[in-house]
Amino acid sequence: MINVEDFLNKQESICVVGLGYVGLPLAVAFAKHFNVIGFDINQIRINELKLGIDRTKETTSEELLNSNILFTANEEHIKKCKFIIITVPTPIDKHKVPDLKPIFSASTIVGRNLQKDSIVVYESTVYPGLTEEECVPILEKESGLKWKKDFFVGYSPERINPGDKIHRFENIVKVVSGDTEYSLNTISEIYSKVVKAGIFKAKSIKVAEAAKVIENTQRDINIALMNELSMIFHKIGIDTKDVLEAAATKWNFLKFEPGLVGGHCISVDPYYLTFKAQELGHHPEVILSGRRVNDNMPNFVVQNVLKLLIKAKKQIESSNIIIFGLSFKENIPDIRNSKVVDIYNELKEFGINTYIYDPYVYKDEVFKEYGIELLQDPYEKAPYDAIIVAVKHTAFGEYDIRFYENITKSPKILIDIKSLYNKDIFLKNGFLYWSL
C-alpha cells in the first residue's frame, strides 16, 4: 500500500503521463511538493521543456527551469513511480465518435511499466464507465497484475481553462474518485497537498467521469441557445448584443453570448456523453441539437459575409478577405478544433482569396494541422474587400478604425464576430458592419 509520507519525503515519485495543456501545469504544481517525472511520447516536446520552452504558454520558462521535473520520453522511468496520473487528449474522429487511441495507448504504456501497489489516476475526459470498463483491462493485461489487489485506479476530472491566469490548477476545487475507500483517501490526500481550493470526493469513478462531461455539455448547450437567438434576432433586425445587455439586468439571467465553439473541451466532450447514451439505447435530443447549432455557426457567418459582399456590389469570386484570429479562444496559441478553419475553408470554396493573421499561434503547427500558410503581417495582402475579426485577442482590441480603413477597399466591410468593437463608430464611418 502507498504511504503518502514516502511521497512527501521524496522517497517515492509521481509520474504525469501526457504533458500538454493539462499535464504540464499539473506536473509543475506537484513538483513544488513531490518528486515528479513528466512523461510524453513527443521527444520534441520533451526537448523544448528541458530548455524551458512551453508552446502552450500555460507555464513560464522560469517555472520549468526551476521545477526539478525529470522530463522524459523514455517509458522505463514510469517504473520508478507508484502514483501515476494520465492526462492525454481524448479527441473525436471525423464522424464525431470518441477517438480512444491516445488513452488506450497511454494505458498500454503505463500497464507494461506498472509496479505492484501503484495507483493510476485518469484525468482525461471520458464517458462514464470507460476507466473501469476499458482502461483497467488494458492495465491488467499489460502488467499481469490484478486490479484492486495489486494496483488501484481513480479518476479526477481536469478543469484547466487554457489561457486563464486566475482559475489555475491549485485554486480550483478538485473532484477525486477511487475504486476503493483506500484509493479514494490516498488520492484525496496527495491532491490535497497541492490543491488549496479543496477536495470533493465523488461517490464513484463513474460519477466523477459524468461530472466532467456535463460541465462542458451544459456550457455548450447554453452557447447554442445564444447562437440560435442570434439567428432569430438577425431575422427580426435587432442587435443581439443590445438584447443581451438588456436581459442581463435581471439578477438571475445567465450571461452567455454567441460565438464559435471550438477547442478540445466544449466542442468535444458532449460527444463522449452522447456516444455512451446511444450505446445504452437513448437518443439525446437536446445535447445533439445544441451541437448541431454550434457546428453550423461557421456556415452562418459565411452566409452573412456573402450577403455583405453582394450588398456592397463586390464580386464574390476572387475577392480578398482577411481573417483576424485562428485559435479557438482569445490570447492562447491553441488551434485544436478551431471553427475559424471552417470559415476559411468555406470561403475558399466560393473562390474567395482568404488569408489568416494570428500573432498568438505557431505558424508551423497551423501548417502541419491544417495546411494553411498564415500571413506574417496583416498588410501583406492588403487591401481587402472584407475583414473578419474572429477571435477577441487583446492585440486586436488595440486596433482602431484608422487601421481598418487603411487595409480595406470601399465599400468597407467588417465582420466583428464577437462584438469586439463599438459598432456605432464603424457605422458612422461608412462601414458595413455585422456581428453575431
Sequence-distant (≥ 6) Cβ neighbours of residue 106 within 8 angstroms: 17, 18, 86, 88, 124
- Same domain (yes/no): 223, 89: no
Q: Spell out, as residue ranges, where the chain has pLDDT lower than 70.
A: 163-164
- Same domain (yes/no): 108, 225: no
What is the tens place of the pLDDT at every residue in 221-247? 999 999 999 999 999 999 999 999 999
For residue 41, the model assigns a pLDDT of 97
- Same domain (yes/no): 151, 183: yes
- Same domain (yes/no): 29, 146: yes
For residue 309, the model assigns a pLDDT of 97
- Same domain (yes/no): 186, 267: no
> Of 187, 204, 221, which one is at a domain's C-terminal end?
204
For residue 170, the model assigns a pLDDT of 82
CATH code: domain of residue 190: 3.40.50.720
For residue 263, the model assigns a pLDDT of 86
- Same domain (yes/no): 137, 37: yes
265 assigned to active site = yes
- Same domain (yes/no): 171, 310: no
Distances (CA, A) of 212 to 35, 166, 192, 235, 272: 28, 20, 19, 36, 11
- Same domain (yes/no): 46, 173: yes
Number of domains in the chain: 3
Quote the cell numbers at residue 395: 492585440
> Of 144, 179, 204, which one is at a domain's C-terminal end?
204
What is the domain range of residue 123? 4-204
- Same domain (yes/no): 247, 285: yes
- Same domain (yes/no): 312, 395: yes
- Same domain (yes/no): 150, 27: yes
d(CA 73, CA 326): 30
What is the tens place of the pLDDT at every residue in 381-415? 999 999 999 999 999 999 999 999 999 999 999 99
For residue 354, the model assigns a pLDDT of 98
Q: Tell me which DSSP letter residue 115 carries.
A: P
For residue 166, the model assigns a pLDDT of 73
For residue 317, the model assigns a pLDDT of 94
For residue 168, the model assigns a pLDDT of 74
> Of 159, 187, 204, which one is at a domain's C-terminal end?
204
What is the tens place of the pLDDT at every residue in 301-345? 999 999 999 999 999 999 999 999 999 999 999 999 999 999 999
For residue 225, the model assigns a pLDDT of 97
For residue 164, the model assigns a pLDDT of 64
| Catalytic position from the list 15, 81, 135, 265 | 265
